[in-house]
Structure 1
Amino acid sequence: MSLRKSYLLIFIILLVDQVTKIYIKTNFVLGEEHPVFSWFKILFIENEGMAWGTEIPGTYGKLFLTVFRLCAVVAIGYWLWDSVRKNCSPYLIVAIALILAGAFGNIVDSVFYGVIFSSSHGELATLFADQPYGSLLYGKVVDMLYFPLFDGTFPTWFPIWGGQEFKFFNAIFNIADMAISTGVGILIVFNKKAFHKEESNIDFDGSGLA
């Protein structure tokens, strides 16, 4: 897979990701929920950018996270370039491209959304607002895809959570998260194909290498 095709894949994912996020930000109030099917809902939430809405405490926690993710994107970008240069497996290149697109998509939120959007609390956000809700590098990531497939109750004999209600699947995510998860999934499921290396054909004669 060529670098040009990889960039095209990244661009398409990034475009879809940002279009959906901007639409949600400008058409949904924070916490607003719209059912699509019984098992799929659009639910607008914002988080600091870590998995499962985890936050790093402290004044500089968010800044550290954003800078770390920027460095990670640079490293993943180099990994993609190097893999294409070495003519690695298409499985590996596609997986890296998906991970890079997803990481970059969420970084756009973290870096820029705080200075281009107004607050979504109790009102629709305005794009390129005169009074943005944050500052550069302190934006929040927009999530909206929610798949509560079914509810249930843990058996009473189940350790720790016995008798408690649960909902599957309870995470709320976005297109960028889907790209990252798909890329990681490819690396796990198709591990041997992704990291396959062609064996060199070396001929030997009686005295050593031919």
Structure 2
Amino acid sequence: MLDAGHQLSAAATRPPQGRGLAFWLSLAAAVIVLDQAAKLYFNARFSFGQRVNVLPVFDFTLVYNRGAAFSFLATEAGWQRWFFTALGIAAAAVITAILARQGRRAQPRFALALALIMGGAVGNVIDRVAYGHVVDFLLFYWKDWYYPAFNLADVAITCGAVLLVLDEMLRMRKPR
């Protein structure tokens, strides 16, 4: 039987345990719920193309995107719907496998980035399956220049991608 001193020193030498797969999947699920709730709100309250000015550079609007980022492939005959659906499902499966393999050893910034990307990807997959297009409602512009409208899933994917790049840059700077 170990005394209290041995138990304390053994606990102090163990590597810290991080969050597990369930936590990161729950975070991805929260992104999906927020994204879908916002899309349901805008679908119910706005008509297609309607805009409501919020700030001199920002409007709420309701538009649909049959393609991917920046309406990439939006004018195609319809195959892109299933291509981007399969791509989103594959991304979610790969991310789940990575997080499961890393378990509680996953670095928090890396795991957060993956959870955000997965939540955003699944949020847009749900739209493609349910509606045949992605619902977008956030529109930024300056004078005659307009950034393509986007949604909360896109925000999560972008934040996740930025975190992945930041994580890699910080990891490269660490001494070995």
Which one-letter code corresponds to 2:158 in the other structure?
A: S
Instruction: Report what 2:28 is aligned to.
Output: 10
Q: Which moved more, 1:16-25 or 1:73-82?
A: 73-82
Partner of 1:76: 95
Q: 1:59 to 1:141 in 2, by over 3 A?
A: closer
Q: Which residue of 2 aligns with 1:99?
A: 117
Question: Is the alpha carbon distance of 1:190 and 1:75 closer, same or farther for their aligned partners in structure 2, counting shifts above 3 Å?
Answer: closer
2:107 aligns with one of 89, 92, 104:
89
Letter in 2 for 1:91: R
Q: Shift of residue 12 of structure 1?
A: 1.6
2:149 to 172, 179, 182: 172
1:1-28 alpha-carbon deviations (Å, 9 max, x no partner): 3222212211221111000000111111
1:53 counterpart = 2:71: yes
Length, aligned pairs only: 157
Number of the residue aligned with 2:159: 182
Distance, in Å, in 1 between the alignment partners of 2:135 and 2:45 is 13
CA contact (8 A) 1:92 1:194 kept: no
Deviations 1:89-139 (A, max 9, x none): 111000000000000100010112x3xxxxxxxxxxxxxxxxxxxxxxxx1
TM-score (norm 2): 0.79
Q: Look up the equivalent residue of 1:11 and give its one-letter code.
A: A
Q: Is the 1:89–1:194 contact (alpha carbons within 8 Å) kept by the matching residues of 2? A: no
- Structure 2 unaligned regions, length at least 5: 1-18
Give the 5 Å matches for 1:190-201.
190-193=167-170
Give TM-score, length-normalised by structure 1: 0.67
Deviates more, 1:18-27 or 1:7-16: 7-16
Query: What does residue 3 of structure 2 align with?
Result: none
Which residues of 2 match residues 94-133 of structure 1 at below 5 A?
Answer: 94-112=112-130, 114=131
Quick one: which amino acid aligns to residue 21 of structure 1? K
Please tell me the residue identity of whatever aligns with 2:80.
Answer: G
Q: Is the 8 A contact 2:127 2:135 kept in 1?
A: yes
Contact persistence 1:3–1:84 (CA under 8 A): yes
Task: Name which one, 1 or 2, has greater alpha-carbon Rg.
Answer: 1
Q: What corresponds to 2:6 in structure 1?
A: none
What's the C-alpha RMSD, in Å, of the aligned pairs? 2.3
CA distance in 2, matches of 1:49, 1:145: 17
Alpha-carbon shift at residue 198 of structure 1 (Å): 10
| Alpha-carbon distance between aligned partners in 2 of 1:22 and 1:97, rounded to the nearest angstrom | 22
State whether residues 112 and 160 of structure 2, in contact with CA within 8 Å, keep that contact through their aligned partners in structure 1: yes
In structure 2, C-alpha distance between the alignment counterparts of 1:140 and 1:90, rounded to whole Å: 33
- Structure in which a larger fraction of residues adopt helix: 2
